[in-house]
């Protein structure tokens, strides 16, 4: 047995349909096995709040060892895990194929799945994850919904904090009155027939609940950029990828979403379309998580695995065009520096820093600073009342670096960009910057939006 594995991380399918998966005694034994290995290693101490909580529990026990920590005290460790996968992908030397077989995020998922099966997830938390239903309702009253959820609304946000346990200062996604799918149906886009990739590529865009209900402008911009580069696109949205449900341990619902979405995309894959997920978390689900949740015996397994192999992250796809076909001419250089946050779920796709690679395809684009730290948001985790201050603390290094780049650019009278591929992380970073310097209220960008700007393609509204 080696001290640490030098092989690429690999994951085993989750045996979530096995009753033993939810057995309290077997779960506790596995928690103790894994936590004891983490205690002896401690490489992940600065990744998120789970590990400091675990190590404090052990260090403050009478013996300073795990055996003196009560199992009931494990809950805060599990609660702090955002399923970002950074410990698995970047830090842990004991992930499979190492014999220790340590997969901390999936163990936290197993704990939550056991809680969910027992009915221990709060009603408000369950309702919060129903993004499709919430989006369908909110689109009809978008101005009212956005007014009610604004952090400037000192009447409704305290009520929301009490009713849904959402911190009154946490930024929430805004809703659009018309979805991305609806707008794409009647807003045509001209394909650039002179682009090197014309006739070579066609793609189905997985709209994702975020782009469909919250930010259709970003979806339309991505479609316009791909059209400029000769790519024919269709917009498809069968349902949410299930990441919000995964965070709560509702694995059965995630598997159901996987079957539905994979079935909807199967005909497009058969017709030779690439699949592009417009949000990193969703790309990660399609590429990596779904094939581990839908068993090989399931009739949908073949469709799920085909979708996994056909899916691209948006930034990844643009880089792929550049490498294999060539980009359309006409892109200009960036007018100022970029503070580029690499979203955890983009990094977890194990594809390299594609957003940075994409921006560096632009002329004179050396001034791109990559920030490889967690924003602290963690999906729905970071907006909760007790978690929001911790989320800001976790994301402070990112906000500090972004604020530094903004200040330096301001002193040189140049514009600067603060960017993240994750829309939730972007808003959270902006809040972190504002808390460091109230004078700075940065607009946040998607890196693809910056890339499109180099072609003169802009969104109609000004926020991500």
Look at residues 117, 134, 154 and tell me which one is the last residue of a structural domain.
Answer: 117
In a domain, 309, yes or no: no
Task: Tell me the average pLDDT across 372-395.
Answer: 90
In a domain, 205, yes or no: no
pLDDT digits (tens, 9 = 90+) for 278-333: 999 999 999 999 999 999 999 999 999 999 999 999 999 999 999 999 999 999 99
Note the pLDDT of residue 221: 97
Q: How does the average pLDDT of the chain come out, rounded?
A: 93
pLDDT at 218 over 90: yes
pLDDT at 106 over 70: yes
Rounded distance between C-alpha atoms, residue 168 and residue 384, angstroms: 9
pLDDT at 462 over 50: no
Look at residues 67, 95, 117 and tell me which one is the last residue of a structural domain.
Answer: 117
Task: Tell me the average pLDDT across 5-14.
Answer: 83
Task: Tell me the average pLDDT across 51-76.
Answer: 94
Give whichever of 82-91, 274-283, 434-443 has the largest mean pLDDT: 274-283
Note the pLDDT of residue 252: 96
In a domain, 67, yes or no: yes
Position 459 confidence tier, pLDDT thresholds 50, 70, 90: confident
The strand order across the sheet containing 232-236 reads 232-236, 202-206, 274-277, 311-313
Place of tokens 């469909």: 212
pLDDT at 214 over 80: yes
In a domain, 198, yes or no: no
In a domain, 122, yes or no: no
CATH number at residue 389: 3.40.50
In a domain, 343, yes or no: yes
pLDDT digits (tens, 9 = 90+) for 155-199: 999 999 999 999 999 999 999 999 999 999 999 899 999 999 999
Rounded distance between C-alpha atoms, residue 141 and residue 7, angstroms: 51
Count of Cβ atoms closer than 10 Å to residue 272 Cβ: 9
Note the pLDDT of residue 161: 95
In a domain, 170, yes or no: no
Sign of the C-alpha dihedral computed for residues 230, 226, 416 and 364 taken in this order: negative
> What percentage of residues in the chain have a pLDDT greater than 70?
98
pLDDT digits (tens, 9 = 90+) for 397-418: 999 999 999 999 888 888 899 9
Note the pLDDT of residue 461: 58
Which structural domain, as residue segments, surrounds residue 96? Answer: 19-117
Q: What is the pTM of this model?
A: 0.93
Look at residues 97, 117, 137 and tell me which one is the last residue of a structural domain.
Answer: 117
pLDDT digits (tens, 9 = 90+) for 390-399: 999 999 999 9
Note the pLDDT of residue 463: 37
Position 104 confidence tier, pLDDT thresholds 50, 70, 90: very high
Note the pLDDT of residue 225: 97
Report how many domains make up the chain: 2
In a domain, 400, yes or no: yes
């Amino acid at each position: 047995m080696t001290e640490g594995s030098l092989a690429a991380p690999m994951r085993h399918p989750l045996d979530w349909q096995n009753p033993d998966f939810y057995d309290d005694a077997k779960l506790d034994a596995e928690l103790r096995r894994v936590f004891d290995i983490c205690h002896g290693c401690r490489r992940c101490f600065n990744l998120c709040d789970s590990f400091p909580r675990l190590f404090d529990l052990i260090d403050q026990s009478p013996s300073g060892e795990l055996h003196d920590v009560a199992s009931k005290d494990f809950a805060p460790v599990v609660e702090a895990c955002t399923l970002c996968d950074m410990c698995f992908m970047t830090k842990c030397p004991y992930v499979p194929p190492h014999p220790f077989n340590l997969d901390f995020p999936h163990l936290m998922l197993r704990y939550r799945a056991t809680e969910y099966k027992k009915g221990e997830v709060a009603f408000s938390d369950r309702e919060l994850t129903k993004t499709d239903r919430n989006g369908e309702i909110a689109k009809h009253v978008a101005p009212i919904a956005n007014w009610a959820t604004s952090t400037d609304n000192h009447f409704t946000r305290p009520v929301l904090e009490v009713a849904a346990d959402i911190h009154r200062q946490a930024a929430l996604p805004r809703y659009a009155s018309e979805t991305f799918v609806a707008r794409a149906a009647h807003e045509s886009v001209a394909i650039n027939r002179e682009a090197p990739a014309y006739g070579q590529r066609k793609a189905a865009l997985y709209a994702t609940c975020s782009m469909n209900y919250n930010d259709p402008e970003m979806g339309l911009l991505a479609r316009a950029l791909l059209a400029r580069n000769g790519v024919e696109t269709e917009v498809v949205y069968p349902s949410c990828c299930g990441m919000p449900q995964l965070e709560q341990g509702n694995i059965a619902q995630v598997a159901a979403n996987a079957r539905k979405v994979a079935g909807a995309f199967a005909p497009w894959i058969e017709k030779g379309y690439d699949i592009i997920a417009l949000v990193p978390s969703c790309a990660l689900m399609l590429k990596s998580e779904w094939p581990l949740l839908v068993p090989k015996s399931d009739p949908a397994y073949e469709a799920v695995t085909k979708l996994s192999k056909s899916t691209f992250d948006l930034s990844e796809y643009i880089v792929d065009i550049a490498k294999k076909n060539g980009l359309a001419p006409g892109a200009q250089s960036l007018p100022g520096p970029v503070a580029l946050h690499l979203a955890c779920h983009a990094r977890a796709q194990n594809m390299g820093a594609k957003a940075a690679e994409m921006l560096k395809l632009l002329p004179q684009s050396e001034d791109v600073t990559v920030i490889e730290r967690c924003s602290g948001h963690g999906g729905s985790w970071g907006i909760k009342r007790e978690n929001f201050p911790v989320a800001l603390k976790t994301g402070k290094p990112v906000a500090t670096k972004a604020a530094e780049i903004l200040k330096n650019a301001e002193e040189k009278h140049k514009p600067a960009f603060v960017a993240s591929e994750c829309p939730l992380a972007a808003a959270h970073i902006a809040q972190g910057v504002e808390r460091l310097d109230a004078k700075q209220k940065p607009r946040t960008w998607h890196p693809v939006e910056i890339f499109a700007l180099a072609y003169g393609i802009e969104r109609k509204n000004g926020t991500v």
